[in-house]
Amino acid sequence: MKKLLAASALVAFSAGAVFAQEATGPDFSTLTSSIDYSTVITAIMQVAAGIITVLLAISGAKFVLGMIRRA
């Protein structure tokens, strides 16, 4: 019974692979070519830079406080 199940699964998956090779995905190039992502990328980079600045300030404050406590 297990061999029959394994064989049927193998046939089903191999048939699905054949159909998947013939199918092509939708073409969204006409939609995405008119969008300018440069402003979005700039905003994301600014937010990331702000977060990194805050994390570095916290890390620096912890370092300085640790140096003061050890002195």
The full DSSP string for 17-40 is: HHHHHH------HHHHTT---HHH
* 40-65 residue pLDDT tens: 999 999 999 999 999 999 999 999 99
Residue 36 has what pLDDT? 84
Token pair, residue 43, equals 């905003």
Angle among Cα 61, 65, 68 to the nearest 5 degrees reads 145
The total domain count for the chain is 1
Q: Is residue 4 part of a domain?
A: no
Q: Flag whether 12 is in a domain.
A: no
Find the domain containing 69 and state its range: 38-71
Average pLDDT of span 1-7: 66
Q: How does residue 12 score in pLDDT terms, banded at 50, 70 and 90?
A: low
